[in-house]
Amino acid sequence: MQVSVTDHVNDVKSIYYASPQPALLFSHDKVACEDYEPRIDPVPFGAGEEETIVKIVRLIKNNEPLGATIYLNERTGCVEIARILHGGAAYRSGLLNAGDEIHEINGEPVRGLEPDKIVAMLLKVRCLFSFDPGTDEHIPCREAGLPFKMGDILEIVNDEDATWWQALRVEDPVPTNIDTPVPAAPPVPERHSRSAPATTPATPGSGGAVTPVPARLVPSKHYQESVEVMRRVKLREARNPPRSISPCRYSPKIPKQTRLKKTMYHIVQSGGGPPGIGRNELKRRLKASNPQHFDEVVPYTSREKRPHEEDGKEYNFLSREEMESQIIAQNIFPVTIFTNYPNALNRFVEYGEYKGNLYGTSLESIKTVIQRSKVCLLAPHTQALKFIRTAELRPYIIFIKAPGMERMKYTRLEQHARATHTENTPPFSAEELRDITEMSAKMEERYSHFFDAVIVNDDLHEAAAELIKLAAKIEREDQWVPVGWAY
Ligand SMILES: Nc1ncnc2c1ncn2[C@@H]1O[C@H](COP(=O)(O)OP(=O)(O)OP(=O)(O)O)[C@@H](O)[C@H]1O
């Protein structure tokens, strides 16, 4: 031991000859004396050999397999670790052993669950885009590609390659042969279920009853992002061909943070679908289905209060100066607004100007609704999604989509449907309906990765019924959430 230490120091010296030797020796000795073994709480004093000890094991690992198989011990009814695979994360941690009983995973009890159910608690990837290997010009082998559709669930078994990951479709039989690598725990690029271990069910001693399904290639997150960027650049260039700019005259513009964005309010409200598609109508119907349960935020405005209005009921009324200073402040101190700018009480997730008055929805108003144990219904602008799509609010985003142009005309023209954000507007013209339909397609193309569900607002009654049913289902079932929300 002593010899190897000296050798090592000499090696280092020969490369970094200028380094002072005592400092090197000191660093080396310090590192060598550190204990890098995982720390396990000491066995309670007095616990006998026969007594059960509960270990709470915390494994922090990257996108790699846990490297363990599990089985249901029918005698005890407990889920136990069948094997620890050599070299896997569990093996390296030294924290888990074959025969250990698993009582809960990420806080969720597993007693009585079939191993299959536990496998269903694996972190998996829900696809936020579709992929057809037949049309991808860069895939190294088309036959090896795994086609998938948006919403499909995949298990990524290898994410070592920067461009092509290996994946299994979740309905494919999971390999159980212990001689083959256990499917990887999830990289989960975007979203995953709330539960989380990475184990594979196995019957002890069976050594693999199911023939493993070979993993196939899917684009990595990095690759897909590059594809998306390129697609948008091409699209933009096709729409506005670049003009040649003299390099001498070109100076990049520095965005002015303190300028107030002047967006028309009806644009500001175009989040859950294009304006005019029926978001507010559907929101109204959902609220009416259970007014005790659903509620909406009270927006802020700088316009004059009308005689019949009550502050805090229809709107929260603020002077234009107050609203402006708060909006400007949040642009200057995007993160620390509450501590750095004591006058700013509101953080507007969206704001805009309509007919000379400011309107906005504040984060605090949303929280107020939630704190009253109500489900907060919003129809935000797409720009607001990044502010509200947080671990704190955990929104469920439903896109209200336009049906085809023919159905738009059939359903809206007959009903004399008209915009509701302004008063006394004439019914939609065919031209306006075309705009709504086109905007719907553009929004879906651009923001579909934010959507948890899509409802096509064709027949209004059917769309409302679907929304009400979906709202009930959301409350019953676990949802997919971004990775960061689960911890
Ligand atoms: N499926 C439908 N069939 C017929 N009319 C509809 C349908 N959905 C909504 N409408 C009507 O379309 C009009 C616009 O709906 P709504 O106000 O809810 O749209 P919006 O998306 O909230 O847009 P805006 O912000 O312009 O109000 C209303 O008259 C509404 O009753």
The predicted-structure confidence for 13-29, as pLDDT tens digits, reads as follows 323 333 445 666 776 77
Pairing mode, if any, of strands 68-73 and 78-84? Answer: antiparallel
Whether the CB of 419 sits within 6 Å of ligand 1? yes
> How far, in Å, is the centroid of ligand 1 from the Cα of 238?
33
> How far, in Å, is the centroid of ligand 1 from the Cα of 374?
24
For residues 404 and 457, is the Cβ–Cβ distance under 8 A?
no
Whether the CB of 275 sits within 6 Å of ligand 1? yes
pLDDT, position 120: 55
Write the residue with the smallest CA distance to atom 12 of ligand 1. Answer: 417
- CA pair distance 237, 229, nearest whole angstrom: 12
Pairing mode, if any, of strands 108-109 and 125-126? Answer: unpaired
pLDDT, position 61: 53
- Tokens 């009308």 locate to 306
pLDDT, position 57: 67
- Nearest one of 61, 60, 53 to 101, comparing CA atoms: 53
Write the residue with the smallest CA distance to atom 16 of ligand 1. Answer: 278
Domains of the chain listed by start with CATH number? 2-33 (no CATH), 68-223 (2.30.30.40), 265-486 (3.40.50.300)
Atom of ligand 1 nearest to the CA of 417: 29
Whether the CB of 460 sits within 6 Å of ligand 1? yes
Pairing mode, if any, of strands 164-169 and 153-158? Answer: antiparallel
Backbone angles phi, psi at 232, to 5 degrees: -70, -40
For residues 182 and 175, is the Cβ–Cβ distance under 8 A?
yes
Atom of ligand 1 nearest to the CA of 421: 27
Whether the CB of 192 sits within 6 Å of ligand 1? no
Backbone angles phi, psi at 45, to 5 degrees: -60, 135
> How far, in Å, is the centroid of ligand 1 from the Cα of 281?
6
* Full-model pTM: 0.56
For residues 105 and 200, is the Cβ–Cβ distance under 8 A?
no
Mean pLDDT for each consecutive 10-residue tract of the chain (487 residues)?
A: 28 35 68 57 52 62 63 76 72 76 71 66 72 88 89 80 83 38 34 34 38 77 80 76 47 40 34 77 94 93 93 92 81 44 64 86 89 90 80 88 94 85 80 92 86 92 96 86 69
- Nearest one of 459, 464, 440 to 274, comparing CA atoms: 440
pLDDT, position 10: 31
- Tokens 């995953």 locate to 192
For residues 463 and 456, is the Cβ–Cβ distance under 8 A?
yes
Whether the CB of 101 sits within 6 Å of ligand 1? no
pLDDT, position 241: 66
The preferred substitution site among 420, 425, 436, 460 for testing ligand 1, maximizing ligand atoms within 8 Å of CB, is 420
Write the residue with the smallest CA distance to atom 29 of ligand 1. Answer: 417
pLDDT, position 246: 42
In three-state secondary structure terms, 24 is: helix
Whether the CB of 270 sits within 6 Å of ligand 1? no
For residues 196 and 230, is the Cβ–Cβ distance under 8 A?
no
Whether the CB of 421 sits within 6 Å of ligand 1? yes
Take residue 234 and report the two structure tokens written for it: 């091409």
